[in-house]
A = this chain, B = another copy of it.
Amino acid sequence: MDNTGYCSESFNSLQSGTSDEDMVEIAGATLDFSSTDDVPPLDRDYGSGGSYGAGDGPNGVPKLMDLLDEPVPGVGTYEDFNTIDWVREKSKDRDRHREIATKSKESTWALMKSISDAFSGWLLMLLVGLMSGALAGGIDISAHWMTDLKEGVCLNGFWFNHEHCCWNSNETTFQERDKCPQWKSWAELIVGTNNGPFAYIMNYLMYVCWALLFSFLAVSLVRAFAPYACGSGIPEIKTILSGFIIRGYLGKWTLMIKTITLVLAVSSGLSLGKEGPLVHVACCCGNILCHLFTKYRRNEAKRREVLSAAAAVGVSVAFGAPIGGVLFSLEEVSYYFPLKTLWRSFFAALVAAFTLRSINPFGNSRLVLFYVEFHSPWHLLELIPFVLLGIFGGIWGAFFIRANIAWCRRRKTTRLGHYPVLEVLVVTAVTALLAFPNSYTRMSTSELISELFNDCGLLDSSQLCNYTNVSITKSTSDALPDRPAGHEVYTALWQLSLALVFKMLITVVTFGMKVPSGLFIPSMAVGAIAGRLLGVGMEQLAYYHHDWVIFRGWCSPGADCITPGLYAMVGATACLGGVTRMTVSLVVIMFELTGGLEYIVPLMAATMTSKWVADALGREGIYEAHIRLNGYPFLESKEEFSHKTLAMDVMRPRRSDPPLSVITQDGMSVEEVESLIAETSYSGFPVVVSHESQRLVGFVQRRDLVISIENARQRQEGVVSASRIFFTEYTPPQPPNSPPPLKLRGIMDLSPFTVTDHTAMDIVVDIFRKLGLRQCLVTHNGRLLGIITKKDILKHMAQMANRDPDSILFN
């Protein structure tokens, strides 16, 4: 992997530069309380079990002294860019829980602690919701203000955005509430007038300059302080939730810089959204707040439960859709999602949504980003255009993913990647120059979507609503009948078509640059434009040809039979579905925007079509594609492993390789083990009874072994290179004059997972996915034969799909 990759730089160069806040490596000095957590759970004294349990022999006592009273710092933790062992983490948590439950019976203080421990999860959720909601509100308000700053400034105070500026004005009417004397465009401020070509050029220039300034600031901040802050963050969060460790990815620096640069990037007018990055921001909040609670700080599995909930919170504040957010987390990003997390996510998502509402960034006390007011019914025949929109969305999604991945790969492999700042500036300049002349691209993308979603009321003054008012024959109470379009509508359609082409192309090069960038909003914009175009087309067709067979019976003159806003909504859903391959969560998010079940069938038809079409053109969604591009060890849980291979085809060593490196339970000296460690780079070694029998006893992690030996050499008297290492329960009496033995049963996992060599790989993959394993040992008739790691599986899958197995970079 070279140094010029994707939006996050090469990992090797980053490992040292990140904050120590996150994915905390437990340093020796901080081990003051609950320190027994660091010992793998299975080495505890299971007194009640008792048949072969420790502690019933004379040697049980020294073992306890060696390892339980004085745990070796660092044992049981993970290195950066490594995969966690879910089973071990969950087991650790259960041990912890058990300990607290046992202690709670002893004293009132312990009982209080146990209760506070039980409620700490809820408290944490509350805090995550509050913090994310507040941050999202701040981002919304700042982005709104800075977007308007590109066009002008408020004389009452530069900190007012356009809308707020005119609220205080008495001279505005309801229809023209955006026009007021207090708000000055840059041309008005500088040359005193807003008319004429000179003023236009002045405004144009200021617009481009501000855009360049914002994007320059954004990319510089990202490069200088937090390289992880770029992109949408969802691919990395998916990987982290599946059990990977990227230190600093969810740290306080990333949070700060991402929050600031997100505002800058959105304000610069680049074709990107803030919805995806809000998920990253919420996850940072979750991760940072985890440090307040030992339960979550010390356990990677528990922490990931919080992060799953935080992802739900992110979508909840992005769209104002708490249920949709929870389903998004469940469907799209989470890996292990227990029911308890479902319930807590829901709570956190609600708290965040209501925090955001009380901040009221949109100034309309609405929870949702795009509020849809119409409730006019749709006809069954309209499913045909909806399905067409679905097909469009699917094709666009597949095209976008291919084009974007090709572009990102180009950035990784060519000189392009060496100039990220220049790249951002060029794209910003092109975007701003092309966007300004067209009013639909000049406005912010979310405003555009809002306008496209809206149905035209009688009072609407926008270009798109310039219909010829015909005398209304049937007086319906709320719905307006279909009317012929005025010439401004046709102008708007032309502008929208240009905007469509522009957005489709510019988004491809924008997503993946070194600034925070989400693609929910750009994708939705593409779909909404396409949908609105089709909707207006259908409407006019129905108006002028209401005698056609397809319109007869339901679309008589004077009836409101086509709602172009609904088409825009369906189109947006289809395109977003095509790009991300979301299904239920997408429909539910859209359902929450409308608040009624009326439109669920059109939305579902479009989503389904879009997913099928997109899947037919390319299996992966944009997030999976980026995960693969970056070589993360992510074991997709949606796709079935469909090959006929067996465990023995995947395991190492292959038949031509040297035999598996193992440690015997009582036969090796410190020196031998150290040379084994030095010669190999495996992350763990099986422990066997003897080389001859190859009967499996346990498994030790390389990291634990290194730390323990180092620690023993430093602290334990007499441990030298010739000392023998014992993994057995009872150490046989040593001959006199021999150095004291080193007992390491404590760091050995006594319950390694095994499968037989004849196990079908689909079952092995299932086990890895469901249990979250790092590795699994392979046996044949009870003898140890080899080992399969997550990386082996991913490489095997890559090979089976005719991809380069070396694209999987991490363990």
Chain A interfacial positions (CB closer than 8 Å to B): 41-42, 44, 46-53, 87, 90-91, 94, 97-98, 101, 322-323, 326, 330-331, 339-340, 342-343, 346-347, 350, 353-354, 367, 583-584, 587-588, 591-592, 595-597, 600-601, 604, 608, 637-638, 640-649, 655, 689, 693-698, 750-760, 762-763, 766-767, 770-771, 779-784
Contacts and interface: CB of A to CB of B under 8 A. Distances in A.
Contact of A342 (B584, B694, B754): B584
A620 to B, nearest CB: 15
B754 A754 contact: yes
A765 B225 CA distance: 46
A91 B782 contact: no
A649 B49 contact: yes
A640 B94 contact: yes
A350 B782 contact: no
Contact of A756 (B339, B346, B750): B750
Nearest to A648: B51
A640 B756 contact: no
A350 B638 contact: no
Nearest to A41: B760
Given A42-B759, A696-B781, A49 B342 contact: no
Contact of A350 (B331, B601, B763): B601
14 contacts: A47-B644, A48-B643, A49-B645, A51-B648, A51-B649, A343-B584, A346-B584, A347-B604, A595-B595, A689-B782, A693-B782, A754-B779, A766-B771, A782-B782
A435 B561 CA distance: 50
Nearest to A367: B597
Given A46-B646, A90-B766, A645-B49, A783 B695 contact: yes
A781 B600 contact: no
B756 A751 contact: yes
Contacts of A367: 597
A564 to B, nearest CB: 24
A350 B49 contact: no
Q: How many copies does the complex hold?
A: 2
Given A322-B600, A750-B759, A751-B760, 19 more contacts: A48-B643, A48-B644, A87-B763, A87-B766, A91-B760, A91-B763, A94-B640, A94-B641, A98-B644, A331-B339, A339-B637, A342-B583, A347-B608, A350-B601, A696-B756, A751-B758, A754-B779, A771-B771, A782-B782
A781 B595 contact: no
Given A49-B648, A49-B649, A782-B782, A760 B343 contact: no
B763 A49 contact: no
A46 B781 contact: no
Given A347-B604, A782-B693, A759 B754 contact: no
Contact of A763 (B595, B698, B751): B751
A781 B729 CA distance: 13
A759 B766 contact: no
Contact of A644 (B49, B646, B760): B49
A671 to B, nearest CB: 25
Nearest to A588: B323
A698 to B, nearest CB: 8
A94 B642 contact: yes
Given A97-B640, A595-B595, A48 B750 contact: no
A185 to B, nearest CB: 38
Contacts of A52: 648, 757-758, 780
A-B pairs with lowest CB-CB distance, top 3: A695-B782, A751-B759, A750-B758
A264 B644 CA distance: 53
A322 B598 CA distance: 12
Given A323-B323, A767-B771, A339 B689 contact: no
